[in-house]
Structure 1
Amino acid sequence: MHDSTYFSIRVYRNNHTCSSVVASTIRNKRKGTPQVVADVLRGVYPGEVDTPAPKALIKVVQNEAHVNVSYSTALRGKKLAISELVNPGTVTSVKLNARNKFKYLFVALGASIEGFRAMRKVIVVDATFLMSVYGGMLVFATGQDPNHHHYPIAMGVIDKEKDASWSWFFETLKTVIPDDEELVFMSDRPKSIVKAVQEVYPLSQHGFCVWHLSQNVRGKARVGCKDLCAEKFRECAHKYTEVEFVSAYAEFRRWFPKAAEYLDNSVHLEKWARSYFKGDKYNLDTSNACESMNSVFKKARKYALLPLIDAYIEKVSEWFNKHRKGSAIASDTKKLVPYLENQLHNLCAIANGLFVTELNHFELEDSVIGNDGKSYLIDTWALAYYRTIYLVPHQSTWIILEEIEKLVILPPDYTKKSGRKQDKRYPSTGEAHRKQSNKANPGIHLGRWFEPLNTDEDEEENQGDNQGGNPSEV
């Protein structure tokens, strides 16, 4: 009826418009569709390509969705789930030289980009060498989630650490993480990184890794005091207030004048001292996050380019699934992440002896909690991992654009080197070199240890042959 919520039925046409499957389905015998099978697979096997066979999927769908499916429906649903294994929002970039040879690579998964928006804006960048025949460097940009886990944001491959390669990497990173006054970068001290951050991210702040600096300072100390020098330097760098820093640094200068002179002449104070740093780097003052990533992908660094990307996506997908489940099973009675809950539990004994002010005003509560406190909420932790990262499916399911398929990318040039490949990284300046204790003493002929002992009859005969010394005398 006009201008009313009432209506009347005047014509009824007795024609069925629903499918025969739905029309013939009764309540006690519901049948599933391929989309139902695909939805079940996404929930039970998130991000996995190697799911059970269709015969086993029939029982899985019955237990999860309480519907019956045929073998052909389970097979179609499995193929549909594989075709939907995509990572929307992922940004990739490849740079070639003038001869169409590979030069640079950049990969940032869409789930990592979106999850980083819920975190503190601190990014650790570092590079380590690849151990394939073509060489090159593997680059990581890593953050830290609310529960203090390493959070991979992007990875890349460059030829070497130089101005052009680092500028290209940061320019590409800027397309997913824009320049911001709250953004902070932490790294070692390569001049190419310092220059690239200043040019590409002028609004951000850049700090140096305190641990690497402590190793540089350690080399300036006297023999026997090197470890103490590095420890005292880290204590100075961690001071929160300028008053505490001035007092601690004055003591450090008295004990280690050469190390202090090296710092004054080589490194700006605001680059390593927490109390003078212009940005908010929170608890991140080292490049340990990227060093850990280098260790995780130690084996994968020997792979070719495509297997290396597959290994990276597989590991990140594994971490996302693990931490997503961890945030989901967190207790409903607690609002903070497990890491902070443990920290507060350890500090309860100290807090009991302190003077406490009652929080009876919302402005006071906001000033105490602050933005940093909100980043430790379980809801924020879950927001960082709510997206699923899917593995790369089989090549037969790929959909490649025609203009991409026509491209021809040649491998980079390389020079075959003689000798065994370098598996361990080169120590930084001031870092202690490990002593090789397994080298044989050149004065001992080890082969004599495996020879049979001389009998009394042969002792006189072999007396002139023992010119290299008797093993029993060593």
Structure 2
Amino acid sequence: MLTASTMDAAGTILPLAYAVVDSENDASWKWLFEQFKQAYGERPSMFVVSDRNESMLKATSIVYPGMPHYSCMWHIWTNIRSKFKKGHLQLHELYFATARSYTLDKFNERMSKIEEVDPRVKSYLYDIGYHRWSRVHATVNRTWTMASNIAESLNAITKNARELPIFDLLEYMRTLLERWTNEKLLKVRASTNHIHNVLDGVKRYIVCLENKKCCCGHFQLEELPCVHALAALRHRNETHENYCSPYYTRESLLHTYEIPVNPLPDESKWNVPQHILDEVVNPPTGDKRQPGRPQKERYKTYDEIKSKKYKVSCGNYGGEEHNKRSYKNAPKKK
């Protein structure tokens, strides 16, 4: 079964098309995209993100010539891990930060750090094409769609259903999409002009638009309409702008920085009052200075110490949870 999905404005999976085919080949993908184009047409800023499937690349180039086809940044990372065997811990953070960079300066800075860790990785990413995996090099706005994980999530949900006969599989998909669509449309019943009961599945939420409150807590704490408040506003055919805190407006953001930080003139130009010049400032009195180098970084928490970033390994044996000094057995033979 072939699927095509996207994300809605809330960042959840929105299946667009699915088809049962004999196999995942050039003809199957071409047929799917032909049906897709007939249903959805061709729109500005359309693009495809995949795991670099060759059949899909061919199909989109034929049915949607000129439409950008990007690579899933997670699949590229798994290829990097399998091809290059060093620096995975450093490269992991650097690579994903590079792919998500919003400016060329940040992208180039992080690529230089990748080159310092392993120059082969930089060459590999260059050969793929920066425009295929980098947000800042993309020819259209990729927003947050940097990976094909929504397709993987849909595949995981339908994994067992794919073993069913075709009729049962199609019925499963129909009821699945029907249930998802109904879950997105919350049921609203007005109690008064400002108080509404909102049914979210089997749970009931009470929204008071006049006091900007919902029993889920999000509305009053974040001072932004929650999903239940938005459903009530949609029921009243009313916009949400009047129910958002002024804190989130552009004017409030600009007010934050309206007080200037005044520059200081050269020290020779300072006009310091005499009583300030006459003041004697004694050194701080405190406990005796502790031996050793002063602590500059904060102490790590237990979770940070136990994380992969702070793993302790043994120089003799290579194992974890101990070091060379505390290892009691004989060194590992080379």
Is the structural similarity TM-score above 0.5? Answer: yes
Q: Does the alignment pair 1:240 with 2:137? A: no
Contact map agreement 2:90 2:117 (CA 8 A) in 1: no
Q: How many equivalent residue pairs?
A: 210
Deviations 1:94-148 (A, max 9, x none): xxxxxxxxxxxxxxxxxxxxxxxxxxxxxxxxxxxxxxxxxxxx11111111211
Q: Of residues 120, 129, 136 in structure 2, which corresponds to 1:258?
A: 120
Partner of 1:316: 177
Residues 337 and 288 of structure 1: is their aligned pair in 2 closer, same or farther, counting only changes over 3 Å? farther
- Give, in angstroms, the shift of residue 158 of structure 1: 2.2
Say which of 70, 84, 89 aligns to 1:221: 84
Cross-structure match for 1:374: none
Range with greater deviation from structure 2 (312-321 or 176-185): 176-185
- Distance (whole Å) between structure 2 residues aligned to residue 231 and residue 337 of structure 1: 33
Structure 2: which amino acid aligns with 1:198? Answer: S
Residue 146 of structure 2 is aligned to residue 285 of structure 1? yes
Once residues 95 and 82 of structure 2 are traced to their aligned partners in structure 1, the CA distance between those partners, rounded to angstroms, is: 12
**Equivalent-residue separation in structure 2 for 1:143 and 1:149 (angstroms):** 8
Contact 2:3 2:151 in 1 (8 A): yes
8 Å contact kept, 2:6–2:14: yes
Matching of residue 295 in structure 1 with residue 156 in structure 2: yes
* Equivalent in the alignment of 1:153: 16
User: Taking structure 1 as reference, are residues 202 and 294 closer, same or farther at Cα in structure 2, changes over 3 Å only?
Assistant: same
1:208, CA displacement in angstroms?
Answer: 1.0
Deviation at 1:199, TM superposition (A): 1.8
TM-fit CA distance, 1:160: 2.6
SS in 1 for 2:110: helix
Deviation at 1:194? 1.4
- Of 28, 32, 42 in structure 2, the residue corresponding to residue 169 of structure 1 is 32
8 Å CA contact 2:2–2:24 kept in 1: the answer is no
Q: 1:275 to 1:337 in 2, by over 3 A?
A: farther
Aligned with residue 191 of structure 1, among 50, 54, 60: 54
Question: What stretches of structure 1 move > 4 A for 4+ residues in a row?
Answer: 330-339
Higher relative contact order (Cα pairs below 8 Å, separated by 6+ residues): 1
- Select which of 251, 254, 259 maps to 1:357: 254
1:141 counterpart = 2:4: yes
Determine if contact 1:184/1:207 at 8 Å carries over to the other structure: yes
- Classify the secondary structure of the residue corresponding to 1:310: helix
Q: Which amino acid aligns with 1:287?
A: S
- Structure 2 Cα separation of the partners of residues 327 and 210 of structure 1: 40
Give the Cα–Cα distance (whole angstroms) in 1 for the partners of residues 82 and 182 of structure 2. 43
- Is this contact kept in 2: 1:210–1:286, CA < 8 A? yes
State the 1:326 CA deviation.
7.0
Contact 1:214 1:231 in 2 (8 A): no
Compared CA separation, residues 236 and 355, structure 1 to 2 (3 A): farther
Residue of structure 1 equivalent to 2:43: 180
Shift of 1:302: 0.9
Whole-angstrom distance in 2 between the partners of 1:355 and 1:255? 43
User: Which residue is equivalent to 1:378?
Assistant: none
Matched with 2:133 is 272
Residue 181 of structure 1: how far off its partner (Å): 2.5
Matched-pair contact (CA < 8 Å) for 1:220–1:258: no
Q: 1:263 to 1:326 in 2, by over 3 A?
A: farther
Residue of structure 1 in register with 2:302 after alignment: none
Instruction: Normalising by structure 2, report the TM-score.
Output: 0.57
Matches within 5 A, 1:100-115: none
Quick check: 2:94–2:113 contact (8 Å CA) kept in 1? no
Do 1:218 and 1:227's aligned partners in 2 also have CA atoms closer than 8 Å?
no
| Other structure's SS at 1:153 match | strand
How big is the shift at 1:238? 0.5
Taking structure 1 as the reference length, the TM-score comes to 0.41
Secondary structure at the counterpart of residue 281 of structure 1: coil
What whole-Å deviation, never above 9, does each CA across 1:16-56 have from its counterpart, x for those lacking one? xxxxxxxxxxxxxxxxxxxxxxxxxxxxxxxxxxxxxxxxx
Counterpart of 1:356 in 2: which secondary structure?
helix
* SS in structure 1 of the partner of residue 23 of structure 2: coil
**1:231 Cα offset (Å):** 3.2
**Residue pair 1:143, 1:150 contacting (<8 A) in 2 also:** yes
In the other structure, the counterpart of 1:56 is none
What displacement does 1:324 show? 0.5
Q: Is the 8 A contact 1:218 1:230 kept in 2?
A: no
Q: How far is 1:280 from its partner? A: 1.5
SS at the partner of 2:185?
helix
Instruction: Report whether the alignment pairs 1:210 with 2:73.
Output: yes
Asked whether the 8 Å contact 1:146–1:337 carries over to 2, the reply is no
Q: What one-letter code is carried by the residue in structure 2 that aligns with 1:356?
A: L
Gaps of at least 5 residues in structure 1 are 1-137, 342-347, 359-474
- Shift of the alpha carbon at 1:252? 0.7
Secondary structure at the counterpart of residue 147 of structure 1: coil
- Structure number, greater radius of gyration: 1
CA contact (8 A) 1:139 1:157 kept: yes
